[in-house]
Amino acid sequence: MSTDNAANAVLEIDLGALVGNWRRLRDRLPPGAICAGVVKADAYGLGMAAVAPALEAAGCTLFFVSQLAEAVALRRLLPQSEIAVLNGLLPGSEADFVAHRLIPVLNDLGQIAAWRGAGGGRKAIIHVDTGMARLGLPPSELARLAADKSLLAGVNLRAVMSHLACADEPAHPQNARQLAAFRAATAVLPAAPASFANSSGIFLGADYHFAIARPGAAVYGVNPLPGSSNPMAQVVRLKGRILQTRDIDTGNCVGYGSTHRRECPGRIATIAVGYADGWLRSLSNRGSVAIAGQRVPVVGRISMDLMTIDVTALDPQSTRPGGFAELIGPGNDVDAVAAEAGTIGYEILTALGRRYHRVHTGGAA
């Protein structure tokens, strides 16, 4: 059942705003630089099948995913664009990369050797670790690669990349350290387009831009400048259905664990969104939702399918069952919800529930 009438909650994804965000990021880069699109984890939970074609229609030609299976699904959507796989080449997966014309991001010398073995001068990206200790060639392997160019014979080097650990903290000294290490790495490797910046990295200044940027979160509306005003447009809006309302007396309690006890009489409305929909349980007794433009607090624990809000201050006409409460929207954006939950916007987006009625607006797709 996917009609609006029957939906317990509706997730609106504004593809026009999303594409506008991507263009805004691209326009910060120097002429000729490539603004890639990072669409891993189902486009940060917003739906790769809708997002990737919309970005391609806007001029994006290079896409990053994390996993081979994501890349195979993306290849079906985008027959022409370049698709790179950040998690690299798992042993035995070379033939799949070849068959689907995928670009592996090679993270160690073993993967580079395996890709040479796959033959044919195929494209690959080399990932150099410049201080994150997560993926990419460690300094010792970079030195061996620099000393023996034959290790790259038969590899069409599409790019050399690295990833910033602290890009969302512009004053963090790790940024400049990684920049220096990245410059040193590209200097000892064969000439290739360099790729360094994620969303926040694009805002660290021109030194960080290089030939290819890889923004994800900011395309989806997450603030790349935490603590400053968000230069990106909001992309998602989430509305949950009001299922029931009730009067409640002083001394009565709401929800599991009886964590919200009434100090005065009031009214409670129950909304059809819970932690199984990605409305994190850490949002229990935290934050607020909007009904008819007025903000009201969440009270009691978030349960699997339901949450409860205090609507005492509202006109009962506005809280009738079947109406909607806005959980994510202009007055309560993804970053604000994340702050209440003690997490980051990335996690709120990628947790967004599979059973929301999803509506894509504003795009050609």
Ligand X SMILES: *Cc1c(COP(=O)(O)O)cnc(C)c1O
Active-site positions read 40, 256
Q: How far apart are CA 330 and CA 333, in angstroms?
A: 6
CB 134 to ligand X: min, Å: 9
Nearer to ligand X, 86 or 352 (CB): 86
**Cβ partners under 8 Å of residue 179, min gap 6:** 196, 207, 208
Least gap, CB of 40 to ligand X (angstroms): 6
Q: Which is closer to ligand X, CB of 216 or CB of 278?
A: 216
Smaller CB separation from ligand X, 199 or 284:
199
Which residue stretch of 215-223, 266-274, 297-305, 324-332 sits at the interface with ligand X (rule: CB under 6 A)?
Answer: 215-223
What is the torsion angle, in degrees rounded to the nearest 10, for the CA atoms of residue 78, residue 81, residue 85 and residue 89?
Answer: 100
> CB of residue 217 vs ligand X: minimum separation in angstroms?
3
CA distance 95 to 75: 15
Binding of ligand X by 199 (CB under 6 A): yes
Helix axes 68-77, 48-57, angle to 10 degrees: 60
> Contacting ligand X (CB under 6 A), which of 107, 186, 198, 284?
198
* Residues from 14 through 33 that contact ligand X (CB under 6 A): none
Number of amino acids touching ligand X (CB under 6 A) = 11
Considering the complex, state which of residue 40 and residue 357 has its C-beta at the smaller distance from ligand X.
Answer: 40
Piece of the chain touching ligand X by CB under 6 A; list 55-63, 209-217, 252-260, 296-304: 209-217
CB 21 → ligand X: shortest distance, Å?
A: 11
Among 217, 283, 327, 352, binds ligand X (CB under 6 A): 217
If one asks whether residue 214 binds ligand X (CB under 6 A), the answer comes out as yes
Among residues 158 and 214, whose Cβ is nearest to ligand X? 214
Specify the residue, 216 or 255, whose C-beta has the smaller distance to ligand X: 216
CB of 315 to ligand X, least distance (A): 41
Q: What spatial distance separates the first Cα and last Cα of the chain, rounded to whole Å?
A: 22
Contact pick of 122, 163, 301, 357 for ligand X (by CB under 6 A)? 163
Q: How far is the CB of 218 from ligand X (least distance, A)?
A: 6
Is residue 158 a contact point for ligand X (CB under 6 A)?
no
CB of 170 to ligand X, least distance (A): 14
- Provide CB contacts within 8 A for 3, sequence distance 6+: 357
| Per-position x/- string for 38-67, each x denoting binding to ligand X as judged by CB under 6 A, each - no binding | x-x---------------------------
Binding span for ligand X by CB under 6 A among 6-14, 140-148, 214-222, 314-322:
214-222
- Contact string 71-110 vs ligand X (x = CB under 6 A): ---------------x------------------------
Query: Quick one: three-class SS letters along the chain?
Result: CCCCCCCCEEEEEEHHHHHHHHHHHHHHCCCCCEECEECHHHHHCCCHHHHHHHHHHCCCCEEEECCHHHHHHHHHHCCCCEEEECCCCCCCCHHHHHHCCCEEEECCHHHHHHHHHHCCCCEEEEEECCCCCCCCECHHHHHHHHHCHHHHCCCEEEEEECCCCCCCCCCCHHHHHHHHHHHHHHHHCCCCCEECCCHHHHCCCHHHCCCEECCCHHHHCCCCCCCCCCCCCCCEEEEEEEEEEEEECCCCEECHHHCEECCCCEEEEEECCCHHHCCCHHHCCCCEEEECCEEEEEECCCCCCCEEEECCCCCHHHHCCCCEEEEEECCECHHHHHHHHCCCHHHHHHHCCCCCEEEEECCCC
Residue 12 or 129 with smaller CB distance to ligand X = 129
Stretch that binds ligand X, among 216-224, 286-294, 315-323, 324-332 (CB under 6 A): 216-224
Q: Which residues bind ligand X (CB under 6 A)?
A: 38, 40, 86, 163, 198-199, 214-218
